[in-house]
Structure 1
Amino acid sequence: MTVRLRRLNGGETAVTDERLDALRAAFQGPLITPGDPGYDESRVVHNGMFDRHPGLIARCSGAADVIDAVNLARERDLLVAVRGGGHGIAGHSACDEAMMIDLSAMRGVWVNPAERLVRVQGGATWGDVDRETQVFGLAVPGGVVSTTGVAGLTLGGGLGWLHRKYGLTCDNLAAAEIVTADGALLRTSATEHEELFWALRGGGGNFGVVTAFEFHAHPVGPTVMYGLAMYAAADAEEILPAWRTWTTGLPDEVTGRAMFWSMPASPLLPPEVHNRDVFITAAVYAGPPDEATEILRPIGQFGTPLADLTGPMPFRDVQRLLDWMFPKGQLLSYWKSVGVRELGDDVLEVVLRRGLERPHPQTMVHVPQMGGAVQRPGIHDTAFGDRSAAYIVSIDGNWTDAADTEADVQWVRDAFNEVNGLPSASGTYLNFSGDPDLDSASRRAAFGENLDRLARVKRDFDPGNRFRLNNNIRPTG
């Protein structure tokens, strides 16, 4: 049958059986069209808000498949969505009637322990990386959910449990291989296509399809000291200021976060927190566990916790602790975040009030701690924008009933606007953004002084803006 696909200009084009058969003859992965077995499973992304139907899914097995897919897109002027882990909150990795370049079969990870380098294919998840690196007692700074895709997290920055000690994920990128809009496969590093390498460290998926990453790894685990205490949410007025005081002056080995959430009656949780609104304080110590006992002890002493789970834990288990709370395709999500240079009383007031009035149990008001190694690179050393934030306030809207979508999205926006209007507000973190299209203010807030330079790199490598389903930077200059 003939497959109809969207073009960049919004029109349609037909790709015949003959053209698809010619592509299949060379392609190592499957080409999946509507009606094919496995199509519905293949198009699902993590955010259940998006039920989209690509016109063609090109599930690539390697860089050569990606090159062929990009060449088809250029030949027919196709709109392209690129899927790595499919975790992006804004749903960019799937689009109705577009061609999806799907990297989910490209999940290889190779570790060079002598040089502490890790090569990762573009469709891998952080669980894939942790499994291989922890064999050698190494880790690459990644996210906090193991099913998160390596590509999206890295290209957008990369916060997790190790960023205060070892920096953002993008700060640990040593090299990348990317298929650009003209179908060329380029290796980028500090000495190869340097401007493109600079742009990939925080500039998002604007510049092509990254087929492989090479990271610097660090000695972590296999056991780390993990701090986690759950308090009654109603006690947060006392606990949050105490947590703020504790986080001031912590060693860089500690990366902490606090959040309002609600716990279900799950056998994975202590009975004391079942069906409770809670305020959570948590941290990881990126060093020998025996050094951290006294440093992390206050986590369970800010008040009277409902449960204190602090103790040594395999790093891989820490990375997987939240997976079950984010089931694929079942939560509808819309998030927005604001960096703040200090956690002043005005910020605390909004965090407390919004945390106690969340519209759905699975909505979070989440405050990751920044600083440390995140702030050491210069503002122009990578494309990642404002590094001045001491904390991020992330309003993570999650719900289950589509009838609640309009109200919950508006609640997130209103909470975001409150924090963003405060004097200490400083930028936004686009990996925690649910907006499918950035307005000019959000784009500038995210990339800051680096935006104009990014637009020039975009012009050089994707002048037609083929890779636009992302936190898009338009080619200019």
Structure 2
Amino acid sequence: MTPATLPKELDGKVVLPSDPRYRLLRSTYTRVSRPAMVVLPQSVTDVVVALRYARDSGLPIAVRSGGHGLSGRSSNDGGVVIDLSGLNEVRVLDRKTRLVRVGVGARWAEVAQALKPAGLAISSGDHGNVGVGGLATAGGVGWLVRDYGLTIDHVRAAEVVLADGRVVRTDAEHEPDLFWTVRGAGAGVGIVTAFEIEATELRDITVAQLTLAVDPDGSTLTRWAEHLARAPRQLSTAAMLMSHGRQAILSLTAVYAGTDAGRVRGAVMPLRKIGALLDQTQQSASHAALVSTAHLHPNLGQQPTDTTNGLLPTMTPDVARAITAAVTGPRPALMQLRSVGGAVNDVAADATAYAHRHSTVLVVGTVFPPHDRTTLDHIWRPIGAYTRGAYANFESRLDAAAFRRFYPGATGDRVLAMWRHHDPDGIFRSTLYPGTLS
């Protein structure tokens, strides 16, 4: 395969292994890959040409918006990677309705920075280097999740290149079944190239960083969940639970959508009492400071991990003990806890392809080399027994069982039907779930 065999439309837009740029483009954040080429489209037309070329060549196809995905499926070995980073427009279409057009190749740091002067924000990933497309086709659990909901809950339209090369606009009135699928399971129907998203009015937030010792019986975690269940929706939290010797430590980030001192105090103060407080800081900042442009970096496979997750309707004492034990055992994992109640629960379970509207807690387990998936499975088993579903973006093993955890029951049946309808040859689902979904 040589550049001479490539369509003229892709001249200057293909990176081969001999290109100095290849080292910076071949991999994801969690996996070192060796694709035959990386295509860098600059327009939707380029995406269509790249997709047609990859299909005609019989090469595996990976689609990348950012490359932070834990599964590593936004690259491959020996195939074509369609890197959408050139489709990174961020533009306010209508300030009155807060409607924003966002290209899928933008990183969320770029989105936040572009919206900051207008006093707008979109709740997105928790790291500025995360790409728009991968997150906004699967869900979107961000720093404002309890107040704003999932990112997909505010998608008002999408532009999609289907497997046959057609470009369609989908919204509630045009291709409504496709619109349903794009919001939660979009990676399997085609290549989304842009979204129209309704932002929220937000200038400044308050961020509290708390470090707490965790009670061995897990009661610190139940107190955390109990407070979030009655706290104002403006409060969202994410926490890392890790071992410190034989002690579990909770590093908690609490984000309040606003800066009113009294309301912030009432929301955050109880969190300081859920365990022995070891350290604390608090400051006001813009939303853009949370997903900072300082986060932007190339993805070089620098953080190999094995990760899984599950959603909980509530944090019971039994599961709290199991999570705490996973951190303090002989082969400890890093556990993350995220609040996903509030506005997330307002949406009907069948309104989008993300069906888990009963959940209030997302728990994520991760191990790092030399530990592997076998270790993680052993650690996760006591926790997984309590979970009810999972979130696609925090899973490194994509197989048929994982698909059904992401898309349970009738939701999964509908997702598969839509994937097969729009991609009958399975070029996208075979990349996502190789050999597992017919």
Q: Would you say same fold, with TM above 0.5? A: yes
Where 2:365 maps in the other structure, the secondary structure is: strand
1:370-449 pair list within 5 angstroms: 370-397=340-367, 399=368, 401=369, 404=370, 407-422=371-386, 425-435=387-397, 437-439=398-400, 441-448=401-408, 449=410
Shift of 1:106: 2.2
**Per-residue deviation, residues 358-379 of structure 1 (Å, max 9, x unmatched):** 847xx52111112111111111
> How many corresponding residue pairs?
432
Identity %: 28
Worse overlay, 103-112 or 338-347: 103-112
- Return the alpha-carbon distance in structure 1 between the equivalents of residues 300 and 309 of structure 2: 22
Where 1:201 maps in the other structure, the secondary structure is: helix
In the alignment, what sits opposite 1:308? 280
In the alignment, what sits opposite 1:31? 14
In the alignment, what sits opposite 2:428? 467
Q: Does the aligned pair in 2 maintain the 1:375–1:388 contact within 8 Å?
A: yes
Counterpart residue type for residue 339 of structure 1: L
Worse overlay, 69-78 or 88-97: 69-78
Q: Does the aligned pair in 1 maintain the 2:60–2:80 contact within 8 Å?
A: yes
In the alignment, is residue 152 of structure 1 matched against residue 134 of structure 2? yes
Worse overlay, 38-47 or 294-303: 294-303
Q: Does the aligned pair in 1 maintain the 2:214–2:220 contact within 8 Å?
A: no
- Return the alpha-carbon distance in structure 2 between the equivalents of residues 394 and 326 of structure 1: 24
Shift of 1:42: 1.4
Shift of 1:321: 10
- Return the alpha-carbon distance in structure 2 between the equivalents of residues 232 and 246 of structure 1: 17
Distance 1:154 1:237, change over 3 A: same
Shift of 1:328: 5.3
Q: Does the aligned pair in 1 maintain the 2:217–2:321 contact within 8 Å?
A: no
- Return the alpha-carbon distance in structure 1 between the equivalents of residues 420 and 137 of structure 2: 18
Aligned counterpart in structure 1 of residue 239 of structure 2, from 243, 252, 258: 258
- Return the alpha-carbon distance in structure 2 between the equivalents of residues 233 and 331 of structure 1: 27
In the alignment, is residue 79 of structure 1 matched against residue 50 of structure 2? no
Structure 1 stretches of 5 or more lacking a match? 4-15, 264-275
Distance 1:260 1:135, change over 3 A: same
Worse overlay, 197-206 or 304-313: 304-313
Where 1:292 maps in the other structure, the secondary structure is: helix
Distance 1:260 1:177, change over 3 A: same
- Return the alpha-carbon distance in structure 2 between the equivalents of residues 365 and 133 of structure 1: 32
In the alignment, what sits opposite 1:280? 251
Q: Does the aligned pair in 2 maintain the 1:260–1:356 contact within 8 Å?
A: no
In the alignment, is residue 66 of structure 1 matched against residue 26 of structure 2? no
In the alignment, is residue 18 of structure 1 matched against residue 4 of structure 2? yes
- Return the alpha-carbon distance in structure 2 between the equivalents of residues 325 and 103 of structure 1: 16
- Return the alpha-carbon distance in structure 2 between the equivalents of residues 34 and 332 of structure 1: 22
In the alignment, what sits opposite 2:103? 121
Where 1:413 maps in the other structure, the secondary structure is: helix
Shift of 1:471: 5.2
Counterpart residue type for residue 372 of structure 1: G
**Per-residue deviation, residues 118-176 of structure 1 (Å, max 9, x unmatched):** 11112111101100111111111101111111111111111011111111111111111
Structure 2 stretches of 5 or more lacking a match? none
Counterpart residue type for residue 249 of structure 2: V
Counterpart residue type for residue 165 of structure 1: D
Q: Does the aligned pair in 2 maintain the 1:233–1:356 contact within 8 Å?
A: no
Aligned counterpart in structure 1 of residue 191 of structure 2, from 206, 209, 223: 209
- Return the alpha-carbon distance in structure 1 between the equivalents of residues 260 and 26 of structure 2: 42
Aligned counterpart in structure 2 of residue 168 of structure 1, from 150, 155, 161: 150
Q: Does the aligned pair in 2 maintain the 1:236–1:279 contact within 8 Å?
A: no
The 4+ residue runs of structure 1 with deviation greater than 4 A are: 233-238, 321-328, 471-476
In the alignment, what sits opposite 1:241? 222
In the alignment, what sits opposite 2:26? 43
Q: Does the aligned pair in 2 maintain the 1:205–1:471 contact within 8 Å?
A: no
In the alignment, what sits opposite 1:104? 85
Counterpart residue type for residue 393 of structure 1: V
Distance 1:473 1:187, change over 3 A: farther
Aligned counterpart in structure 1 of residue 325 of structure 2, from 353, 358, 361: 353
In the alignment, what sits opposite 1:454? 415
RMSD: 2.6
Shift of 1:350: 0.7
Distance 1:235 1:305, change over 3 A: farther
Shift of 1:237: 4.5
Q: Does the aligned pair in 1 maintain the 2:139–2:354 contact within 8 Å?
A: yes
